[in-house]
Each structure stands twice: as C-alpha cells, then as structure tokens.
C-alpha cells in the first residue's frame, strides 16, 4: 500500500531542507579544510569564522533536526497508522516555525551580524534577530515533539492493553529527552541573550549562560544519536533478515539514555572557573553511567548479527560475518557508522575524564571526536535510512544503481573521515587549537609540527566534500527514482519483529512519569548547589562585545 500522500509531503518537506543544509554545509566544510591546511585564502572579505558558523549551524543543528523529525514522523505513520489531524497540524507548524527561524538566523550570519559560531558564547553579542531565529527553531521542534506525543496518546487510547510499537516508544523517549534538554537553551536565549542583545539589560552573567547552554549541549548529542539507534535496533534486524534481539532491553536502554544524558553538562566545562571540583567530578561520574546503555546497544547489535548469521547456516566463531548483506547500502552505511562508533566512543570517554580533559580541551582532537560521532556514526546511519525512506514514502524503488552509488558514497565518506578526523586527533594531542584560522604562531616549532597533518586534514576534507556532494545527488535521484510497479515493488520501510523466544515487554517501562521524575531528581542533585552558587553570589556581569 502506498504511503499516505499527505503524511508523505510532511516527511519529504523535512528531507528537502535537511539535504539542502547538508550540501551548503559540506561546501563550507571544504573551504575550512583548505584554509586550515594553508592551501587557499577566502576571497571577497568572507571570514573563516563566518563560514565556520554556517558549517556548524547547518550540519549540527539543521541537517540533523530536520532529518530526525522527518524520519520519526514517517515511522509514526508506519507503526501507529495515519497521522491524526492535530499531529499533522503540529508537524507543519513546527516545520514552518523552524524554517522561518533558520532563514532569520542564516540572514544574520550572512550579513556578518552573527559570527559567533553555533555555540554563541556570551559575552560575544550577535544581532538579537539571530537569537530570535534560534528561539523559533527551538519552539518549532517543540511543536513537532508534541505531535509525536499526541499520536502516541491517540494510539494508546485506541489500542488499550496492547504494548506500544517499539518505534513509537523510542520516538517518545527521544522527544522527551529533547523537551527536557531544550529548556536550558530556551531559558538562556529568552531570559538572558534576547533582553541583553536588545540593550534592555546592560550585562549578562556569563557562567550562568554557559551552564544553561551545556545543560542542553550534551543531551543534544543524544538527540542526534537516539534516532540512529532507532534505525539500528528496529530497521537493521529486518534488513539483514533477522529479529530484534530483545524488545524490553531496547526500551530499557532508551530510558537509561534519557536519564543519564541530561545531568552531565559540566563535563563540557571542566576547564572553567566558578564550579567547585566536587561537582565537576559528580557530573563526570553521571556522564559515565551512559556507558551502560551503550554497552547494551553494542551487545544487542552484535547478538542480532550473530543470531541472524547462524540461522542462515553460518559456522565457526565468526562465520556469521560473511552472512551479512555487505552489498546492501541500507545495511552497509549504518554498519560503518556503528564500527566508527567504537573509536568515537572511546575518544568521548577520554574527553569526559575530569582532569585528563586538560590534554584535549578545545583542541582539534575534540573536532576530530565529533566528526566521528555525529558526522560519521549519525550521518552515515541517516544516509543509510534515506536510501529506503525517501523511495518508500514516494512509492518508488531503490534501484541497484542507486544502491551502488550509495555504497560508493559510504566508502568515500569513511575514507575522507579517516584522513580528516585522524589528522585532527593527532594534531589535537600535539596542542593544535580548534576553531582557529590558519596561523603559524610566528613560526613557533610546536605549530610547525602540525603542518603536515593539516595537509592530510585538507585532503580528507576534500574527499568528504566529494562524498557530501554525491550524497546530495543521490538524494535528488532518490526523489526521482522509478515508480513502483512492473519494474519492482516500492522500497520497504523495514520494521523488525521481536525474536519468538523473547518474553513479553514489561508494563513498567512505559511509566514515563517515573522516568521524568528520576531525571528531575538527578538534575536537582547535580545542579542545585553549583548553579545556585552562580545565582546567589553572581560574578559581575559582562557588557556585550562584537569582536569580529
């Protein structure tokens, strides 16, 4: 049965913005890599930091958010039936608010009124309209999230006593995390940045704004990751011809992600004054608790692979590896993402290691790290999803030619990333700072030693640019893929089934009130005293600065 046309329009609208952002983002990425490598200088008064602001905002915030909403809305339709009226209205309202916000912010960045990078640290002051644009994007995502909740409630009301679909459960967990996390950034933008940038108040409390930002900033990365995990847990088993390893463990993992990705923002502020060491350490411990659901996810993935392979007759310790569909981009792209997540996760543990953070903080190492996590693990999984999601929604076919282009795209992306991220990790350990245009630091020998790696970085960035453009072209071809019919069936939306021997999913997993309660308790525990200190005995505030 073809995908509902009206629901499909909403999904495709999100995808078009996502992949347009991807294209512009990788063009900016290429420019940065070449400037940083000392290969070119930017013409016509375009600033390196302006390009960097565009790159970060479009790829980290816009590409991811639009893709996630499109993917999740499509999955809601697939697992819970046609979107009800209010959900569609919320989805469109969210889409337009986000898009208007994005355009406002983009105009400000292009006008060089907001060259503050996508972290917009105070007291650097962008145009107030930049912050208003950001606020609209956030409010838009809230509306989209409420749509997810509304569809879920409607399903539960009309399917009393039944276990909710795993996809729906995970979608709710993802947007619950998002609602709780974005409170931080919404508070700092609405109550600190906007009044201060308009000049209604003279000063801003910098530490309060940074703390609120990072309360949001870490769960943000889980907002990117959880939809990728949804593909791994739900879609990948079906694609490889297997079963979901354990429905209840998958749900438990998602609950743990919601709980342990929020009260941990200080691990981004380990090198900062104004926060007592004990509170930094407590949040470091909470940060590492997220290892538990990560290990659960890794186990579930490889258990599914092995069980599927053995069911297909694989023998020996690793014989099942040969039974995996390596030539199928729907599997291959997300799998490469999973593989990269092993070094990416290990690097993340180094970053969060309290005093050890001093070795890598604000160096290129960190940039290398998140180009593995979000720009490889998450991005490749999303690309892998696009190859079936877009033709499925449009009732079209994923042709062998498109599949092959997808494999090539994935290989190019991985090779480019190994060069670029590898060079970033190495130079980072040698002390090269992140977010810094080309410089030799007056020919200091330490900086000279980074030079050869910068060349590798530029080469990797160029390969990634080619791979990014190819992905955009693939996206266009997916939109125009041959219609389903005599040539073959439409691409499938793969929804895995639970293994037969699995026990029924326990009811308590769906007690959202309890999970939110635990999050609130942990947030109060981790933040009340250190954040209270910043408010009760505030440091003198800062006036606005425009330094670019």
Partner 1 sequence: MHIHRLEKIWLIIGVAMLVIFLGVLGVGAFAMGMQPPTGEHTIDPEKVSETYPFNNPGLEQIGDNEYNAYMVAFAFGFKPAKMEIPLGAKVHFQVTSPDVVHGFQITGTTVNLMAVPGEVNHYTYTFDKPGEYLVLCNEYCGAGHEFMATTIIVK
- Active-site positions read 218, 222, 369-371, 434-435
Of 312 and 435, which has the nearer Cβ to partner 1?
435
Whether 35 and 477 have beta carbons less than 8 Å apart is answered as no
Between 179 and 436, CB nearer to partner 1 = 436
* Token pair recorded at residue 63: 């590409």
Sign of the C-alpha dihedral computed for residues 160, 162, 163 and 164 taken in this order: negative
Structure tokens at 502: 């699995």
CB of 303 to partner 1, least distance (A): 7
Q: Are 351 and 359 in contact (CB under 8 A)?
A: no
Could you please report the per-residue DSSP string of 260-293? HTSTTGGGG-TT-SSS-HHHHHHHHHHHHTTHHH
* Sign of the torsion angle spanned by Cα atoms 148, 149, 151, 152: positive
Containing 399, the helix (H) or strand (E) segment is none
- For 16, 363, 465, the CA distances from 56, given in Å and listed in that order, are 19, 16, 15
Q: Which is nearer to partner 1, 4 or 113 (CB)?
A: 113
φ/ψ of residue 433, rounded to 5: -75, 155
Q: At its nearest, how many Å lie between partner 1 and the CB of residue 246?
A: 7
- Whichever of 70 and 496 has its CB closer to partner 1, that residue is 496
Minimum CB separation of residue 171 from partner 1 in Å reads 22
CB contact set of 409 (below 8 Å; sequence gap of 6+): 329, 333, 383, 467, 470, 471, 474
User: In the complex, what is the shortest distance from the CB of residue 360 to partner 1, in angstroms, rounded to a whole number?
Assistant: 8
- Beta carbon of residue 213, minimum distance to partner 1 (angstroms, whole number): 12
**Diameter of the chain by CA atoms?**
72
DSSP result, 39-62: S----TT--HHHHHHHHHIIIIII
Question: Residue 104 or residue 116: which is nearer to partner 1 going by CB?
Answer: 116
Considering the complex, state which of residue 303 and residue 495 has its C-beta at the smaller distance from partner 1: 303
| Alpha carbon distance 103, 485 (integer Å) | 39
- Residue 49 CB, shortest distance to partner 1, in Å, is 6
Residue 257 structure tokens: 């992600």
Q: Which residues contact residue 8 at a Cβ distance below 8 angstroms, ignoring those fewer than 6 apart?
A: 74, 393, 394
């Amino acid at each position: 049965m073809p995908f509902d046309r009206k629901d499909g329009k909403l999904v495709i609208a999100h995808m078009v913005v996502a992949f347009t952002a991807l294209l512009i983002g990788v063009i900016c990425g290429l420019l940065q890599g070449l400037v940083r490598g000392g290969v070119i200088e930017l013409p016509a008064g375009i600033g390196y930091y302006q390009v960097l602001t565009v790159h970060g905002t479009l790829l980290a915030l816009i590409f991811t958010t639009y893709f996630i909403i499109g993917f999740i809305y499509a999955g809601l339709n697939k697992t819970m039936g046609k979107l009800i009226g209010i959900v569609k209205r919320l989805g469109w309202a969210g889409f337009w608010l986000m898009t208007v916000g994005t355009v406002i912010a983009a105009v400000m960045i292009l006008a060089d009124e907001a060259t503050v990078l996508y972290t917009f640290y105070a007291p650097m002051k962008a145009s107030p309209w930049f912050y208003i644009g950001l606020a609209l994007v956030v409010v838009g995502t809230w509306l989209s999230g409420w749509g997810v909740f509304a569809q879920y409630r409607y399903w539960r009301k009309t399917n009393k006593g039944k276990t909710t679909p795993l996809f729906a459960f995970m979608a709710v967990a993802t947007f619950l995390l998002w609602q709780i996390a974005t409170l931080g950034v919404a508070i700092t933008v609405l109550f600190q940045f906007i009044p201060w940038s308009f000049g209604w108040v003279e000063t801003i409390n910098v530490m309060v704004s940074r703390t609120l930002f990072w309360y949001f900033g870490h769960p943000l990365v889980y907002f990117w990751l959880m939809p990728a995990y949804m593909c791994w847990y739900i879609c990948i088993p079906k694609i490889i011809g297997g079963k979901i390893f354990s429905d209840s463990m998958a749900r438990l993992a998602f609950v743990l992600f919601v709980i342990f990705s929020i009260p941990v923002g200080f691990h981004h502020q380990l090198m900062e004054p104004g926060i007592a060491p004990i509170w930094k350490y407590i949040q470091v411990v909470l940060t590492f608790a997220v290892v538990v659901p990560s290990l659960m996810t890794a186990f579930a993935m490889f258990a599914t692979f092995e069980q599927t392979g053995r069911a297909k007759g694989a023998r020996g310790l690793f014989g099942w590896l040969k039974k995996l569909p390596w030539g199928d981009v729907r599997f291959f792209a997300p799998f490469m993402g999973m593989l990269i997540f092993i070094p990416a996760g290990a690097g993340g543990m180094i970053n969060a290691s309290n005093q050890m953070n001093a070795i890598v903080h604000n160096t290129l190492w960190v940039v290398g790290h998140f180009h593995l996590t979000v720009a490889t693990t998450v991005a490749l999984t999303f690309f892998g999803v696009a190859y079936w999601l877009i033709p499925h929604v449009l009732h079209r076919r994923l042709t062998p030619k498109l599949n092959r282009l997808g494999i090539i795209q994935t290989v190019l992306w991985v090779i480019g990333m190994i060069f670029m991220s590898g060079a970033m990790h190495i130079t980072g350990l040698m002390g090269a700072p992140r977010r810094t245009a080309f410089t030799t630091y007056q020919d200091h020998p330490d900086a000279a030693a980074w030079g050869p790696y910068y060349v590798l970085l530029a080469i990797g960035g160029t390969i990634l640019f080619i791979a990014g453009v190819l992905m955009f072209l693939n996206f266009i071809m997916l939109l125009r893929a041959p219609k389903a019919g005599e040539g073959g069936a439409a691409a499938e939306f793969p929804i895995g089934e639970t293994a037969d021997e699995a026990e029924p999913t326990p009811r308590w997993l769906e007690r959202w009130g309890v999970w939110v309660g635990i999050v609130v308790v942990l947030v109060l525990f981790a933040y009340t005293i250190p954040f209270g200190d910043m408010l009760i005995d505030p440091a003198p505030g800062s006036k606005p600065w425009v330094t670019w």
